[in-house]
Structure 1
């Protein structure tokens, strides 16, 4: 399973491509008429989430598109930025590092509050083949950032480096890390970071086949409830060990102060649902998301009956059927892997 849709909004703003695919192939950066048309047709700089991207076989390289953006848009007003595909061939890690490019121009974006890097779908490139970079420099370069999203893979990286190193960021409120295989180091690194304002955390844990070797032991520091005191939403999603994750969450101190909990996109079965029902109370939640799951009708009903009368919105959409396999466990699958 893979990612099929591009982001439609970021930071409450509609995503607006700076250059559409066709324009990338026909635009002449040195043509004054083309530049004038681009400026005239652009929305207000702070009214949209700008997307900067190339595509496979594009005529313009990503650094050229970025320079054109800096030249034609008042980036001092840009509040939200989405980085899409940044190669004109297969992404293999030989391109100029996109995070380095962003950091080099950080002073041009004083109003930037929302950033998502690698809004790439499977039609462009499988998630597992998106070369990982260290996102720590982004947090250092953009001290006013409130939201950071990053999508990456490990399949083509024999010895992946750190995606995040322990750091401090005073204003980050939302962190989203999406992958089909999360290395064990990453949730530990998130827990080791000082994010005093962080209230929303989503981690896609993925599968072992694509580098997802994070276990519930690697989540322990996140779940103890002391590392990020402002946290109110926790997503531990897209995991092939979703039942184990659910059991760990059910006993976790952090649950008591959450408003929403997301265990969706994974292999959750009746076993995980029963662990949630037997664990710490969830009746204080506003929302429990378990879409894309493998619960039977009985377990799904018990969850609803236990939580919905107390006002909890329970999302049990996308009930899945296991593939034919020797055991139900082998037949369950995450929403995103390759």
Structure 2
């Protein structure tokens, strides 16, 4: 199955594709949907540039009522980074006064591989919208996230086949007192995912984000090492859910979780897409499910053997 798909909702609002210039359809109320704005660079001769689409959007709806924006394809993904998107959002801050959620890079595989999505420094969006509550980015190439201060951000999500260690360090060094939900797809080194356990250490030590209740450290080629670190991490005590899915989790990492601190206080534990054998998977279920923990161990990861060497793969890379 594909783990990189268009968002269906944002900020609790259904995603709605803002129609093309020739469409004749009634638009919903500005605050009733998450507006998905995207262009098709491979369309016909009437193709609309993203800048024109953006201006038409702001002229077609009440900007002061818009609560959520999902930015999809804005041009050739490998020729145009997201800096233009960031600039337009920043420039519109006095018009988009109700904006509470933004997601940049909502492209699925048919539009571009996740590593083809050229990002940029996205933190000016947080600076421009001090009341923003949700922020997400897809694509790690060119992504920058220097440490920020933001009083109201509750959800922060990075989806990548390789998340730069610089980004992880920026997130961990940020001051986000309201942050409840943090998700990072760490990816593989081949596609820029060079974050280490040392980069994650301040986060796992607790105290960095006092309101944090969900932690997702996903899609990593060092998932076993992460699981072992999480097994003894103080931050786990404050969580209600933990997500270590999509990566290269084997019996070694699963055993570390079983041998670490109790996880029975969690509402759910996501270990989808794994390389855990059934006997070990059953041990996890027996240890947690009687306490009411919902455990997801579905989906076997892709692997192959070459001259006695077993190669295992994260769910998302290129």
The aligned residue for residue 147 of structure 1 is: 134
Residue in structure 2 matching 1:132, options 109, 119, 131: 119
In 2, Cα distance between the equivalents of 1:281 and 1:95?
Answer: 42
TM-score (norm 1): 0.89
TM-score (norm 2): 0.95
Change (3 A) 1:190 1:130: same
> Is the partner of 2:255 in helix, strand or coil?
helix
Unaligned runs of 5+ in 1: 29-33, 155-159
Q: What's the C-alpha RMSD, in Å, of the aligned pairs?
A: 1.7
**Do the aligned partners of 1:266 and 1:292 also contact (CA within 8 Å) in 2?**
yes
Residue in structure 1 matching 2:248, options 267, 270, 292: 267
The aligned residue for residue 48 of structure 1 is: 33
After TM superposition, list the pairs within 5 Å mapping 1:289-304 onto structure 2: 289-304=270-285
The aligned residue for residue 323 of structure 1 is: 304
**Do the aligned partners of 1:287 and 1:313 also contact (CA within 8 Å) in 2?**
yes
In 1, Cα distance between the equivalents of 2:293 and 2:306?
Answer: 35
Report Cα offsets for 1:212-240 as digits up to 9, x if no partner: 11111110011110110000100000001
The aligned residue for residue 31 of structure 1 is: none
> Is the partner of 1:98 in helix, strand or coil?
helix
Unaligned runs of 5+ in 2: none
**Do the aligned partners of 1:3 and 1:127 also contact (CA within 8 Å) in 2?**
no
In 1, Cα distance between the equivalents of 2:185 and 2:146?
Answer: 18
The aligned residue for residue 76 of structure 1 is: 64
Report Cα offsets for 1:254-293 as digits up to 9, x if no partner: 0011000000000100000000011111111110001111
In 1, Cα distance between the equivalents of 2:306 and 2:101?
Answer: 43
Report Cα offsets for 1:274-328 as digits up to 9, x if no partner: 0001111111111000111111001100100000001100011112352233456
Structure with more of its chain in helix, by fraction? 1
Aligned residues: 315
Residue in structure 1 matching 2:145, options 151, 164, 177: 164
